Amino acid sequence: MQLLKLLQQPWHWAVAGVLIGLTVPLLLILGNKTFGISSSLRHICAACIPANISFFRYDWKKESWNLFFVAGIIIGGFIAATLLHDPGKVEVAAATQQRLSDYGIHDYSALLPPEIFSWGNLFTWKGLVFVAAGGFLVGFGTRYAGGCTSGHSIMGLSNLQWPSLVATTCFMTGGFFSANLIIPQLFKWLQ
């Protein structure tokens, strides 16, 4: 019972950072594998789509370990969300609450604000812009950059790859620009 209480309480972000950081050398030692999540969608498409598209014509079975890795992330997330969640209220800093209240977000009962991330909100203009259009832009950026933030920022930077430094710099710049300039304007426009 004590272990369950320990697992349910909020942990410092550095614990996850260290564990993710240790994944890189572990994957390299256990078979020269690279850490990245977005490539798993390509593997799924190559396995399931019997088309003659050159992008999907490769030996995806050599990368099937990545599909098990992603499945483990999904299963772990489900277990954490259903069995190990903290029953207490999500703690949000006062300055963040003030800024979010300007956007119409007042409910902090869940990890994601239901004013944006809810099934009922998905089919509104706000939902379409933030979820559908945002998802498309993230997918486009991932493909354009040749990988996602985990692949470039965690794996690529640890291998001192120049393209990963450029991609990570662009990810961070785009994130800061969006969070501070675009998203506040979108919230004002969509309210």
pLDDT of residue 72: 93
pLDDT of residue 107: 85
pLDDT of residue 152: 87
Residues 6+ apart with CB under 8 A from 40: 66, 67, 69, 70
| Residues 22, 28, 30, 35, CA torsion sign | positive
pLDDT of residue 75: 96
pLDDT of residue 53: 85
pLDDT of residue 43: 87
Residues 6+ apart with CB under 8 A from 27: 33, 34, 35
pLDDT in tens, the chain (191 residues): 788 788 877 788 899 889 988 888 888 898 888 877 888 888 888 888 877 888 888 888 888 888 998 899 999 989 988 888 777 777 888 998 888 888 888 888 777 788 777 888 778 887 788 788 888 888 888 888 888 887 888 888 888 889 999 999 998 998 899 888 888 888 777 76
Q: What is the pTM of this model?
A: 0.73
pLDDT of residue 46: 86
Q: What letter does residue 117 receive in the DSSP assignment?
A: S
Let me know if 22 is exposed, middle or buried by CB neighbors in 10 A (0-12, 13-18, 19+).
Answer: exposed
Residues 6+ apart with CB under 8 A from 190: 125, 126, 129
